Structure 1
Amino acid sequence: MSLFSAPTKSTTPSSILKKTPSLKSTLNRSLKVNTPTKVRFILPHSKKVRHILKDYIKHGNAKDYENLVCLIRDAELFDDDISSLLKEATECISIMKQELRLFVEALLSVDWIERNENVVKEYQSFIANLVAAHNYHADFVINKLVTLFFPPLTDPEWENGTPSKTDILKCQHVHSLLCELLRTVPLCNELLIHALIDHFPYMNKSTHIHEYYIQNLLWVICYQPTLRPNILHLIFSKLIIMDVSAPREEIAKLEEEEIFMMDESKTNTTINLDCVHSMAHTLDVCLDKVFNYIYSECHEPGTNDLNWGKTKSLYQDILTVFDQSILPTYNTHHVQFVMFVLCSFKTTLTEAFFNYLWKKVCNPNVASVIRQAAVNYIVSFIARATFVPLTMLKGTLQQMAEWIHSYIATQDGLECVNSDLRLHSVFYTVCQALFYVISFRHKDLVNTKKNVVFLESLNLAKIVTSRLNPLRVCQPAVVQNFAAITRKYQLAYCYSIIEHNSRNTLPTVYRDEKGFVTVSSNVLEACYPFDPFVLSRSSAKVHPFYRDYKEVSFEVNDSEMREIGDVDDFLENDFNSKTQKFSYGTSPGFKFKG
């Protein structure tokens, strides 16, 4: 019996002497054909599959073997066909070694996840037995299963990120088989990680492809928690790439101005911004899934009570990802909020996170750029998180002030102090951080006499008048706000120093050992990682615990104006009204207005 059988209208062969049809008639006939003829699967006679495979292995009879492979791969298979084929193939598992790789690959190409329950179970049982018997096929099996983590190209995006019942059922079939393979064949754990990395969709793929794939990665964690550190590292390493490719400023501009309809002269700009917006949407959907996973993992189902054991374990895994991938990456905008969301569950986590960052700041063996980043994470977190208690805020400020005074003491002992920004970058960053937090959270720090006394104990005047002159290199917006607040509460007087610095500001030219020349303005670059979160969907997990900057007004009377004039003549133009306003800017955090 032939391995192929296709339906035909007539079994009479055409004569070779028959007149060749014209091109016109051929075209007309081809237009009437709507669908190609499909090959109908007919299984060889009982035991024939085993015979074909053995004949190929022992005698090299490739014709029947190749026909069988093509039949499985190309024929239209129904549930009964697959069931019969699996029964035949199961009897041949013992001989399915490397020589029968094509036959195994053909079986793995069968569309099985949408079949009836019996076929699905038979297929899962066959694959599990095959891999257990021959580890050689494990790599291809795992890769084939991971390809099922992608949706059909025509599938729409999930509504509110919730998988459909159909997609859940299909994915359950795949994960049930994967779970069995990981349990019985330890080699599959390493193979799965490599497959997940290799198949992760490129960042320009559609949002639905990314949400489908990441959802499956999170499902893998549920039944194989030992892979969680690797999978979380993979997810965040990809999200970081999206994040740095979708700047906060451009996202906000798109959402506020709705500039999708532009005139023809700005066509190129429209395309670029639209790409950024699309990537931001993908990032938003993926981050929302990660945030949902974190919340569900840390809380008991139904009661929403915090499971402290699971929370501590997840914190350690995510902190490792933060240390390896997020902290060293410059100019991320949203991915780092994973620490913000996680720490909002319990104050103990916030304290542990601050301690981790502060140890990096104080460690001279850590690269200065990482130490600076750690400082910025601390101050931005304290400024923005509503769940940070006042005691923790004051304790952190005291730590910073003590470190600054200790650093100043070591420099004051030297005969000559070199106030080069490159040499003292960490010191200046900590100073700016201190000024920033006091300016941002001053309402909480001056509401009682006890808190004002605490600020006085920081000895801010000694910091601003030190020989290293931190006001010279800190961001002007931060300096102006800090100067206004410290003058208001008589903590320090900065305006004479600001005036002196403004009159002695010149760019510095540096030449390295290779002869390259760089020009520096000698002003710190301010980067506050927890500036406003502008993604729409995932922001629901952030905004309940987020503090926006509120404009503050200081009433300035005539006597204070004269006092300021005595100290700083150049500021008279800045105080041309009786109200000094502070408004928020995304970076460096403040924008001074007269």
Structure 2
Amino acid sequence: MHGKEASTSGKSVRFGGKVAETLAEYKQGNRNDYDLLIHQLSDPDIKSASLLSWLQELRRAVTVMSKEFESLVAIILRVRWEKHDTEVVDEYRAFLVDLVSAQTVYLRSVLKMLLRKFLISPEPKDENEEDKNKRKENETTCFRHVHTSLQMIIKIVPMTPQFLMPVTSDCFPFMRKDVYIQECFVKNLLIVTQYVPRLRQKILELIIEKMILIDVHVPRTVIEESEDAEDSEGEMEDVMFEMDGVVDDTMVEHQCNIQEEDDEEDKVTDDDKNCLRPMKHPLANTLDVLMKIILEYIYDICHPNAEFDIEATKELYRHLLLIFEHVVLPTHACCHVQFFMFYICTFRPGFLDLFLDYLWKKIENPNTPSIVRQAAASYIASLLSRSKTVPMSTIKAGLDVLVTWVNRYIDCQDGSTKSYADVNLHGPFYSVCQAIFYIFVFRHKLILESEKGLAYAKGLNLERIITSRLNPLKVCLPTVVSMFATITRNYEVAFCYTVIERNNRAIIPVVSQTQCGSSSQLTNMNPLDSFFPFDPYLLHMSGVLLEPLYQKWEGQQVNDDKEQLSGEDDNDEEEEKEYSLYTDKESMLPLGITPTSAMCVSPGFRFASFGT
């Protein structure tokens, strides 16, 4: 024993020789003091005074702590240093900086130790407010210590950023981990982008990749079923079962007394509850929390000090566009993550134009894979239809470009041996046609109610497209085709029903053989495998940021000046009447015309409110 060390907080005892002597003896084959040192540093209840003494000696010995002392370094990195006194924390950070500057072989291990400090324990379920505040304070202090340590290491070791990303990827929590763990880790990664700006694109890309993985694991139907199941359970709890002919007068009176108040407050209360309550599906809830973090981060970067910064937005837009190209665009049928591009494009019209131009270049480039060209067409259609910030001039310009390209394509196919309906041959063509139909369906009121709107719509010469030998009405999604046919017939812009009826009579069931050798009969109602990237947003908390920017499906209003509807119930009735205009028109079709469904969940034509 080499004496006792006194401190202001008490006494602590340490065993063994000096660290430099212990390491020298270890090299000569004597492990006694070395093993004793490791044992003392492994003590979870090690006193701050003892740890401070060891750290001071270890700092002086970092030059000799080569790879052969890896076991000692591993033990030091396991110390819960963030829970000790400020003096110990400062000394530990100084040791880390000295270690990685003298022995870069330990840089990856040090970075991994620091990043794992972001992986805190899940929130206790039965925690009182006082304990919660104390835990939050401790977590905040720990995170601050980690960020300070990272900044010091990055300043001393310039090669740190190139090691940081692989370590970050390794430490990223699994998607089924508790949502609070995911939230803390992602928030701290975004803080890292503030003092390591050159890593911002890579960090954002990593986060969005993980979010995409969650998104594809919770399809829209799964989220809707989870929410509907909860709503059904809530309704069942409110059902009052009564005996035959027996009514509790007290209960009836009580319900009557509160009915008026409930009617006034229901709309606000229900909306607030939907915004604040977590999603019922665990993965959907995690995605909701992460989307809210990302959207708030985008807003904060673009609006420092609550004022819009065009240069900061341009730089962030470039990063997000690259991430969109590498991660999001090639991913089919993700439901929510792509809304980060929708969001940033609403800040200024110029960013919307840039994004549309980027997507259009993907479509018109024949060297781009067909699946990417088709996805780009879906994004253009959905963005022009769903964003409230899109001006009328941009909608018309988009339709003009799409229609011109389609007409050129038809011209090139005239006289060709491949001039027939085939998705495999003409996939991008059909996707662009569907984009035209989709945009026209969503924006027909805005277009036709504008000055010379009807003349503009007829000038698009949509009749030539729908009657071409490539027959886009046969391939495009039946819901879109049906709505497009109804609207164009109503305004006499184009007449599609003859072509639709001929297509319906020509439909032949497709027989495919399974791996077992048996045959199955299929009818492919979505040969394009279409999806609509900006379908109604289902997530509650993050949806609050998008709702004011999102264009709902409005249908066609009833022209009755005498009827004035107000309140939520009246709006629902109005929606049903608007919708009935389309279905009623189909019932009045001439004999021989097959009516088709005018509503499908996917394009969201009947979604009256955002996020439902």
Secondary structure of 1:521's aligned partner: coil
Deviation at 1:155, TM superposition (A): 5.0
Query: Secondary structure at the residue paired with 1:569?
Result: coil
- Deviation, structure 1 residue 240: 0.6
CA contact (8 A) 1:79 1:116 kept: yes
Structure 2 letter corresponding to 1:221: T
1:111-130 → structure 2 map (5 Å cutoff): 111-130=80-99
Larger RCO (alpha carbons 8 Å, 6+ apart): 2
Aligned residue runs from structure 1 range 200-211, under 5 A: 200-211=172-183
Residue 195 in structure 1 maps to residue 167 in structure 2 = yes
**Residue type of the alignment partner of 1:62:** R
Q: 1:90 maps to which residue?
A: 59
Q: Give the whole-Å Cα distance in 2 for the aligned partners of 1:566 and 1:364.
A: 43
For the pair 1:548 / 2:563, whether they are aligned, the reply is no
Q: How does 1:139-288 map to 2 (within 5 A)?
A: 139-153=108-122, 164-258=136-230, 277-288=281-292
Q: Distance in 2 between matches of 1:105 and 1:236?
A: 32
State whether structure 2 residue 341 is matched by structure 1 residue 313.
no
| Change over 3 Å in CA distance of 1:195–1:564 after alignment to 2 | closer
Equivalent residue for 2:571? Answer: none
Answer yes or no: is 1:586 the counterpart of 2:589. Answer: no
In structure 1, which of residues 48, 51, 56 is the aligned counterpart of residue 26 of structure 2?
56
CA–CA distance in 1 between the matches of 2:122 and 2:471?
60
Aligned to 1:31: none
Q: Deviation of residue 133 (structure 1)? A: 1.1
Alpha-carbon distance in 1 for matches of 2:105, 2:425:
57
Deviations 1:227-264 (A, max 9, x none): 111111111111111101111222123223317969xx
Structure 1 residue aligned with 2:256? none
Do 1:582 and 1:591's aligned partners in 2 also have CA atoms closer than 8 Å?
A: no
- Matches of 1:223 and 1:207, distance apart in 2: 26
Using the size of structure 2 for normalisation, the TM-score is: 0.80
Preserved contact between residue 466 and residue 472 of structure 2 (Cα < 8 Å): yes
Structure 2 CA distance for partners of 1:494 and 1:368, relative to 1, 3 Å: same
- State which of 95, 105, 120 in structure 1 corresponds to 2:74: 105
Contact 1:385 1:547 survives alignment (8 Å): yes
Contact 1:551–1:582 (Cα < 8 Å) also in 2? no
Q: Which amino acid aligns with 2:281?
A: H
Matched-pair contact (CA < 8 Å) for 2:208–2:337: yes
Q: CA deviation at 1:472?
A: 1.4
8 Å CA contact 2:409, 2:429 repeated in 1: yes
CA deviations 1:504-533 (Å, max 9, x no partner) are 11135689xxx9999663743331010011
Cα RMSD after superposing both structures: 3.3
Instruction: Answer whether contact 1:495 1:568 (CA < 8 A) is retained.
Output: no
Say yes or no: does 1:507 pair with 2:509.
Answer: yes
Q: CA deviation at 1:194?
A: 1.0
2:43 to 74, 77, 80: 74
The count of residues paired between Structure 1 and Structure 2 equals 528
Offset of 1:572 from its aligned partner? Answer: 8.3
Aligned-residue offset at 1:324:
0.7
Q: Cα offset for 1:375?
A: 0.5
Q: For 2:194, give the aligned amino acid.
A: C
Map of 2:14 onto structure 1: 43
- In structure 2, the CA distance between the partners of 1:152 and 1:479, relative to structure 1 (3 Å rule), is closer
1:325 aligns with 2:295: no
Task: Using the TM superposition, give the Cα deviation of residue 137 of structure 1 relative to its aligned residue in structure 2, in angstroms.
Answer: 1.4
Give the drift of 1:582. Answer: 6.2
1:349: Cα distance to partner? 0.7
Does 1:292 find its partner at 2:296? yes
Q: 1:503 to 1:329 in 2, by over 3 A?
A: same
Structure 2 unaligned blocks of 5 or more:
5-10, 235-277, 560-576, 578-582, 608-612
Mapped to 2, the partners of 1:85 and 1:403 lie a distance apart of 74
Q: Which residue of 1 aligns with 2:403?
A: 401
Q: 1:340 aligns with which of 342, 347, 352?
A: 342
CA distance in 1, matches of 2:342, 2:588: 45
Residue 131 of structure 1 aligns with which residue? 100
Distance 1:289 1:309, change over 3 A: same
**Is the deviation greater in 287-296 or in 101-110?**
101-110
Larger CA deviation: 492-501 vs 314-323: 492-501
Residue 456 of structure 2: SS of its match in structure 1?
Answer: helix
Correspondence for 1:452 = 454
Amino acid at match of 2:293: K
Q: Distance in 2 between matches of 1:210 and 1:399?
A: 43
* Residues 502-541 of structure 1: pairs in structure 2 closer than 5 A: 502-508=504-510, 521=524, 523-541=527-545
Instruction: Report deviation, 1:589.
Output: 3.7
Per the alignment, do residues 335 and 369 of structure 1 end up closer, same or farther by CA in structure 2, a change over 3 Å counting?
same
Question: Is the Cα–Cα contact under 8 Å of residues 375 and 433 in structure 1 kept in the other structure?
Answer: yes
Determine the C-alpha separation between the residues in 2 that align with 1:208 and 1:509: 49
Quote the offset at 1:118 in angstroms: 2.0
How many angstroms does 1:451 deviate by? 2.1
Contact 2:298/2:344 (8 A) holds in 1: yes
AA matched with 2:112: N
Gaps of 5+ in 1: 5-39, 263-273, 575-580
Look up the equivalent residue of 2:225 and give its one-letter code: K
- Hey, what does 2:254 align to over in structure 1? none
Instruction: For 2:84 and 2:190, locate their aligned partners in 1 and report how far apart those are by CA, in whole Å.
Output: 25
Distance 1:477 1:546 in 2: 21
Asked whether the equivalents of residues 381 and 439 of structure 2 are also in contact (C-alpha less than 8 Å), the reply is yes
**Alignment check: 8 A CA contact 1:384 1:547 kept:** yes
The amino acid of 1:48's aligned partner reads K
Q: Paired residue for 1:11? A: none
Q: Who is 2:390 aligned against?
A: 388
SS for the counterpart of 1:205 is coil
Aligned-partner Cα distance in 1 for 2:31–2:368: 63
Q: TM-score, normalised by structure 1?
A: 0.82
Which residue does the alignment assign to 1:493? 495
